[in-house]
Amino acid sequence: MRGVRVAAVALCGVGGLSGAMYGLLTGQGKRARTLIGQSTGDPHRADGVYAGSGAGELKFAVLGDSLAAGYGAENADLLPGVLLARGLAEETGRSVRLTTYARVGANTRTFVSQVDKAVTDPPDLALVIIGGNDVTGKMRVSTSAALLGVEVARLRSAGAAVVVATCPDLGTVRPIPQPLRWVVRRWARMLARAQRNAVLRAGGVPVPMGELVSSEFHVRYSELFSPDRFHPNGAGYRHASDILLAPLCRAVT
């Protein structure tokens, strides 16, 4: 995800911001961007076929932002796509052909181009992880959720089963100071709820990742985050993948 911006300015639903509070949050946003820095370089890539013990092939696509791409993982074996492809191969017995469309910095608007590519050779199963950059980029919750719903429906119409990991809890990111961290946490949770509803309407399967992993990431912060303190490391991606594997398996059985 790109550097944190002052999402608080657009979150006026929590009440009007005084000039002093506006200035405080703006300053905190700049400080957070400095501490976290910009995502540079590309994640490891390891697309290909992961052999299963039986017959048949499962086409598995991973779409979304830097979390979907595995930015911060120490090596290709720890990318979420790879972890999940191997898990799917083991659980289903089918060989899994992994294709990663996810890109660092993607938001739900730019996510459309990933779906454009995916539907040209439709996957059997698609995992979508998106939303963090919508929060840091101040996209309206209703707009973000509606766009997601449209793209999930496109994937479903192409024949793919779709599992969506909803917006993570950005309140676990410690370089974001308080009270800005409280604001982005609230926004992320609002978006996750809206995403859940949009995904269900579109025929997908939402997984509330913020609810399921935030406490572990909070307690084991130094163990599960990469050196930028914003993206998970390999252990963090493994923890998240362990949670995502079961709903992915259910989606294709």
Among the listed residues 44, 47, 226, 228, the single catalytic one is 228
224 CB-contact burial (10 Å; exposed 0-12 / middle 13-18 / buried 19+)? buried
CA distance 16 to 11: 9
Please say if 218 is a catalytic residue.
no
Please say if 228 is a catalytic residue.
yes
CA distance 41 to 177: 26
Among the listed residues 39, 134, 144, 231, the single catalytic one is 231
* Greatest extent of the chain over all pairs of C-alpha atoms, in Å: 64
How many other C-beta atoms can be found within 10 angstroms of the C-beta atom of residue 144? Answer: 26
247 CB-contact burial (10 Å; exposed 0-12 / middle 13-18 / buried 19+)? middle
DSSP label of 121: S
CA distance 89 to 50: 7
Burial code (b: 16+ CB inside 10 Å, e: under 16) for 69-98 equals bbbbbeeeebbbbbbbbbbbbebbebbbbb
Among the listed residues 39, 66, 214, 241, the single catalytic one is 66
Active site residues: 66, 228, 231
